[in-house]
Amino acid sequence: MGTFETYQRQAVELNGVTEPAQRALALADLRALETEISSAGLNDSERRSLLFTLSSVMINLASDAGSADHVKVGVEWATRLLDDDGSPAVLIPQAAYNRANGLAEMFGIEEAANRQPRVASSSPAYRLEHLDGLREVRKLYRRVESDPLAPTGIRGRALCNLGNVLDESGRWAEAYSAYSDALLADPTNGNAAGNIAELLSCCAAVWDAGSTSVDTWLPSMTTTWR
């Protein structure tokens, strides 16, 4: 059995895996680590903290690997924290942030798998046809934003990621508002600053071309926080 610090270090080290061949092993290691932690001699506070870390790392690695099944595992771990009455209040918005990120990634993987032939990957048409698919994601990001115990950085990241979801769904005015709110929450949020500039640039290009059709819209090359 390891100590809290040992488990935390192992999880963080797995987050640094970038090689595809090693990533599959890392995903399996994360699941094994979660099993070991659940029966280790840790107190409840340590176990919850580690589960949050494992959730974050699993969602990040699985997203890079394009594995919806492993992203779902990370989402389930975050959900356990949200459903745990003993979870400290400060951990709740961070777990909600993880769940939102994971659900958004799962939707993106599903979207790519179901994209119709000859439909550009940049088209928001699929999202406009599946409006309910990201509803919980948007609600979770808003939940993080409104939680007074959410760290400033997490609030800014949640709003930035909300802006990305809205932008990619063709809801550009709302995306602009979310990016602006992200900067108000955290003026150091470089992704939000870059994304809002990219969004304005793309809007100007489309409007100059005289079209606002979803078939001609090119969502901005936004950057998502993890």
Please name the residues in contact with 126: beta carbons below 8 A apart, sequence gap of 6 or more.
Answer: 111, 114, 115, 119
Q: What was the pLDDT predicted at 174? A: 94
- Domain boundaries along the sequence of the chain: 1-88, 118-226
Q: Given its phi and psi angles, is residue 137 left (phi above 0), alpha (psi -120 to 50 degrees) or beta?
A: alpha
Predicted confidence pLDDT, tens digits, the chain (226 residues): 579 999 999 999 999 898 988 999 999 999 999 999 988 889 999 999 999 999 999 999 999 999 999 999 999 999 999 999 999 999 999 999 999 999 999 999 998 888 777 655 556 777 777 878 899 999 999 999 999 999 999 999 999 999 999 998 888 899 999 999 999 999 999 999 999 999 888 777 666 655 555 444 455 555 665 6
Distance CA 69, CA 193 (A): 33
pLDDT of 69: 97
| C-alpha distance from residue 83 to each of 3, 7, 8, 65, 226 (Å) | 25, 23, 22, 27, 22
Per-residue pLDDT at 181: 96
Record the pTM. Answer: 0.88
